[in-house]
Structure 1
Amino acid sequence: MFELLKAGGILMVPIVACSILALAIILERFWTLRPSRVAPAQTINELWRWIKKKELNGRKLKALQGSSPLGRILAGGLMNAKHGREIMKESIEHEASQVIHDLERFLNPLGTVATITPLLGLLGTVIGMIKVFAEIQLAGVGNAGNLAGGISEALITTAAGLSVAIPALIGHRYFIRRVDELVVGMEQEAIKLVEVVHGDREIDVEGA
């Protein structure tokens, strides 16, 4: 493996660094963007029980706020529910914007890795071909070993760049989609909460 990296030239260093960064982001986002962590079902079910039994108080609101990103959004709305529907909705939107920002953390760097690694591979290809033509100019086409070295460098960097970019791009698209799905689910729960609190909707036996 080391010999392969060495054969690819100096541009293999940033490509390898990008691969490590991409892997770290993908693993971290897989862990962070779990639905059971972002919007756990028990959070909303417990909230409906509190509301139905009129047990909601400041201590439980603090517990709700710290339980999950969804709990943070709902607690933000409930803390301002007494000021009317519009203020409650604005509070929910304010908290939701911060939560969404947290959910999208590191996705821009992952997208950047997916974009620049093929360019690094292409740059390596250009440098490798320049070496090939420089060798031809100096020694002609008789020294096949030297020519093969430049061509090898060009092909290795291209392959390495694409090998990093493809999974990074797939991961980026996947996590963007997951964030969108989580946000839609949280929006639905927030709308339901506003309707319940302001008497436009009844809480049924299973929740709301």
Structure 2
Amino acid sequence: MRVFGYISEQESRHSGSGTPFLPGYNFHERHESGPIFAPADAILDAVAAYDMRSDPLSHAFMTLRELPGKLFPSTKTSREPQPAFGLHTFTPLERGPDTLSYGLTGRFWRTDMGIIPLRDVGEFTAFQQPGVARLVLHFQLVAEGEAWRLRTETFIGCPDKATRLKLLPYWLLIRTASGMIRRRTLSAIRHQLSGR
């Protein structure tokens, strides 16, 4: 049973939705665009090149999220200037003919998000550390007549109960803003490519 995007890991293993980059997941959200009249490659190129901060509302949400880390750094390293958060922060995992996947590893509930940079899909899938969550951001094109719908799914897997309990209040707090950023991203890409 899913409640506000939370799903038990056992149920996630038997659900119709999943990702090959996580053995199971505890948090999930899905959004989908309207029809996009453009070639599949052009849509995926637009996703890869999209700057979420180009949207004023998304930029405001992300700036607000970064503010606690700047005001109250949780570690010595977080006192150093950090690049603005965006898709470039993620680890590229895979690009197929109609899919694009990125990964992110960290302690997302911390003021500085506790991001652990990983170079590639091999490092991401092999990473296992208690207290650290892994997130997969997956884009998929779904055919609809002469058009495509662009679907985005977010999966977060936690390695232990303590991590799930730390992530749960953070997830409930940011889920609305996160969903809005995803929807605005999909809308912007659709408008950019098909003008609709």
Fold conserved between structures, TM > 0.5: no
Higher alpha-carbon Rg: 1
TM range (shorter): under 0.3
Normalized per residue, the structure richer in strand is 2
Question: Structure 2 length as normaliser, TM-score?
Answer: 0.23
Normalized per residue, the structure richer in helix is 1
